[in-house]
Structure formats: C-alpha cells, structure tokens
Chains A and B, each alone.
Chain A
Amino acid sequence: MSENPFKIIRPADRPPETLRKDVMGSVRLMMLMMRFMQLFVADWSATVFENVRVLKPVRDTNDPEQPTDP
C-alpha cells in the first residue's frame, strides 16, 4: 500500500529563530500589563491579549458564526 499522501505533505519547516525571542518578550510585557490591569479591569486576560497581539482582530459584522476562541 502506498504511503498516506497527507503525511508526505506535512510541513517540515522549523520555526524561525526570532520567534522565541518575540514570544518571550511579549509574554514579559503581558505579565507587566496583567499585574497592572488586574487592579482595574474585570477581563484582564482579553484586554492584555488585544494590546500585545501582532495580527489585528477580524471583525465581520455580517457573520455571526465566527469560530470562538476558548
């Protein structure tokens, strides 16, 4: 039997070297913000994430069925 082609096309790319530095830098920034916001904001985790994410949020007002993040 031939090999599963889905396995053959699995991406083998290594994550970029800079990604760890970027993520850990953002995590430290988030921790600082969290400590501050815990004092004043109810949903501080969402507020902090919105301020540190790279990609801007998608807002499609015509589509009420967007996948929801946990």
Chain B
Amino acid sequence: MFKSKVRKTRELNDEELVRQLQQQMDAELFGVLYDRYVERVYQKCMALAGDRDLAKDLAHDVFLKVFANLSKFDHRSKFGTWLYRVTYNYCLDHLRKDKKVRKEDLDERVQGEVPDRDANEEALLSLRAERLSAVLDAMDARDKAVLLMKYQDEMSIQDMCMVLELGESAVKMRMLRARERAVDTYQQLYGERP
C-alpha cells in the first residue's frame, strides 16, 4: 500500500506535488520532490561554495527552508525556478559571512541601453576550463552566480529576473559588470588579456 502510494506520487508533476503538500504536509511526498532536485541543488551549492562539507550543509538547509515555506509558494513561477531562487539566496547569505560577496555597487545602476553581448563574453567563452575555474574561484560569489546562471545553466533573462528579484535592464547590467570583472580577474591572475 505504501509502495503504491509512493509510485503514484512519483507520477505527479512538480506543481501537483506542491499543491498536495500545501494542503497537507507529508514527509514521503516531500521525499519525492527531494529526489527530483537534490542533485541540482547540491551541485549549485557546490558551484557557489566550492567546498563539499559546506555544500552538504547548505543543501540540507535549502530543503528545510523550502519545506517550511511551501505554503508561501504562489505558483506564479515554476517550482524549479523558485527552488533555484531559495538556493541562490541562501548560499549568498552564507558566503557573505566569509566576505566572498561584495556589497552592491553603485555603478550597477542602469544608465541607458545595456548590450546583451560584448567582447568580454567571447573572451570568457574561449577560456580554457581550468583557467575559467580559477577566475570564478577568485571572484565575488554574486558575480560568479550571475555568470553561472547565464552560461552554465542557460537561464532565460525572465527567470534570472525572478531569481535575482531585479528588472531586465538591471539583470543585463549585472551580467555586463560580472563579465568585466571576470576579465579583470583573469588579467590579475595571468598577466594578460584573455
């Protein structure tokens, strides 16, 4: 009987599962959501924190935060996007403690049209993987997260706006600045332009 319940719930999509959980908290049902997303959440924590033990603790707390706040999920976005937002915010809050997150820059205020692409994008995409990895490790976690959303997870601007809680122009400006800082970091590490 228990097995057939789990099998049945495994056939539900995310939104149906969440609606059931919003009606009645159920650990087994939440376990189905956990199994679907644990790899993505853990790997995102790992990418941002760069440390297995910390990534495990971050992933643990992210799932608890999601469980505690499921009743507040309003289904306006996909569940996966909302989960990404919780993961991103929780990781950055904790990396802030280690001073790996710089404070918001005033120069990120949007002035005029922001280009989608620039020479820095081509430069970053042509880097050797180990050098890119070193550059990202040396960068502020907020910049690193934006670059990973765009170039690793291939998130749409709309989803990035939702995760970052910013408007489209502000997201583009943040990406532009993150690319500039990545190129500057490369120059500091390797003494040449990429």
B93, A67: Cβ atoms closer than 8 Å: yes
B125, A5: Cβ atoms closer than 8 Å: yes
- A-B pair count, CB < 8 Å, reads 130
- By the criterion of a CB under 8 Å from any partner CB, how many residues of chain B are at the interface? 56
A30, B68: Cβ atoms closer than 8 Å: yes
CB distance from A4 to the nearest CB of B (A): 6
Q: Does B152 contact A (CB under 8 A)?
A: yes
- By the criterion of a CB under 8 Å from any partner CB, how many residues of chain A are at the interface? 42
Check A20/B97 contact, CB under 8 A, given A6-B148, A52-B64, A65-B103.
Answer: no
Q: Does A36 contact B (CB under 8 A)?
A: no
Task: Find chain A residues with CB under 8 A from B97 CB.
Answer: 58, 60
Task: Find chain B residues with CB under 8 A from A31 CB.
Answer: 25, 27
Shortest Cβ distance from A47 into B: residue = B68
CB distance from A10 to the nearest CB of B (A): 6
**What are the interface flags for A18-43 relative to B under an 8 Å C-beta threshold, 1 for contact and 0 otherwise?**
01101110111011001000000000
Q: Does B36 contact A (CB under 8 A)?
A: no
Residues of B within 8 A of A (CB): 25, 27, 30-31, 34-35, 38-39, 42-43, 46-47, 52, 55-61, 63-65, 67-69, 71-73, 82, 85-86, 88-90, 92-94, 96-97, 103-104, 124-129, 132-133, 136, 147-148, 151-152, 165
Which 8 pairs between the two chains have the least Cβ-Cβ distance?
A6-B151, A15-B42, A8-B129, A45-B68, A6-B152, A49-B68, A11-B46, A5-B129
